[in-house]
Amino acid sequence: MPITSTASDTTKLVHAAIEVHEPGEKPGKAGALLETIEFQLNPKELTVAKSAKWESKNQKKAESAPPASYQGPDPQKMTVEMYFDETRSHDGSVVARVEALLATTAPTAKSTSTKKPSAPWVVFKWGLFTGFTGYVKSVSAKYTLFSPDGTPLRAVCTVALEELASEQGKQNPTSGGLQPRNAHTLSEGDTLPAIAYREYGNAALWRSLAEVNGVDDPLRLRPGDTILIPAPDELADANGRELARKEVARALN
C-alpha cells in the first residue's frame, strides 16, 4: 500500500496506528487485540535506531586496544510523536487519548491475574511500517492548548518503542543456554528476585535466572541491560541443575 503518490487522483491517505495486544505466547506473535490507538495526524518524522553489542577485555600490558568480539544485536528502537487535537469537538478533551497511551506501560489485567504481570505488546502500523512488534518503553505527554475552564484540547506525545524478538534463539551465543520466552530491559531498581517473582511467582528462582543469563554478580546489573526470560518449565530444569550442582559441592566438601 503506497504511503504517498504524485498523482492526486490516486493518492490514498494511510493513517498510522498503534495496536495494543495482550502479551504473546510466542516470540514476535502478539496476543489478542485490546484496542487501536490511531494517529489523528500522521507523524512528520520517525526515528529508528539499531545497534550491536561488542565486548573487549582490557589488558594492562597491551600496547593497543584489544580486539572486540561481537555479542549480538540490540533491539531495534523507534521514537514517534503523536499529535492530538480536540479543538473542533464540542466539550472535547485529549485526556482520554493520552491516558490510553500512558496505560500501555502498565500490566494488562489478564497478565496480572496469571501472576505474570506484563505490559501489553504493541504493533506500529503505517504503510510500509507494518512489522514492528514490541512494547512501549516510555510515553511523554505535553499539553499545548487548554479551554478557558482548563480542559486540555491539544497534546503532543513522544512515544518510545522497543522491538521484541521475532524468533527464538539461544540466550548466549557461547553458552548453549535455554530458549527465551521473553526479554526484559532492566530499569533503575530492578533486581533478579523481583523479576523472578514477577515472572514465575517465586523470588527464589533468581539464582536460576542468573545462571541462564550468565550473571556472575547480580549486584552489578545495569539499567538498559536485557535479561532473557525462559519459559517456566525450562527455568525449572535450570533450577534442578543448580540444586544438583550444590549437592555435589556439599558431598565433595
pLDDT tens for 233-248 read: 666 555 554 444 444 3
pTM of the model: 0.59
Could you give the 3-state DSSP secondary structure of residue 246?
A: helix
Parse the chain into domains and list their residue ranges.
14-50+68-167, 168-253
Compute and round to an integer the Cα radius of gyration of the chain. Answer: 23
pLDDT tens for 218-233 read: 777 888 777 777 776 6
- Phi, then psi, of 52 in degrees rounded to 5: -125, 155
Which residue is listed with cell 522491538? 163
Contact predicate 129/46, CB 8 Å: yes
Contact predicate 27/36, CB 8 Å: no
pLDDT tens for 98-142 read: 999 999 999 999 988 887 889 999 999 988 777 688 999 999 999
* First-to-last C-alpha distance (Å) of the chain: 68
Rounded Cα gap, residues 77 and 46, in angstroms: 11
Rounded Cα gap, residues 140 and 46, in angstroms: 16
Q: What is the pLDDT of residue 6?
A: 43
Q: Any residues with CB less than 8 A from the CB of 63 and at least 6 apart, and which?
A: none
Rounded Cα gap, residues 219 and 63, in angstroms: 32
Could you give the 3-state DSSP secondary structure of residue 174?
A: coil
- Using the 8-state DSSP alphabet, how is residue 65 labeled? P
Q: CA nearest 184: which of 140, 230, 216, 139?
A: 230
Q: CA nearest 47: which of 159, 187, 166, 183?
A: 159
Domain 168-253 indexed as CATH 3.20.20.70:
no
pLDDT tens for 23-59 read: 987 766 788 999 999 999 899 999 999 888 887 766 6
Is residue 250 scored above 50 in pLDDT? no
pLDDT tens for 130-176 read: 768 899 999 999 999 999 999 999 999 999 999 887 654 444 433 34
Q: What is the pLDDT of residue 200?
A: 78
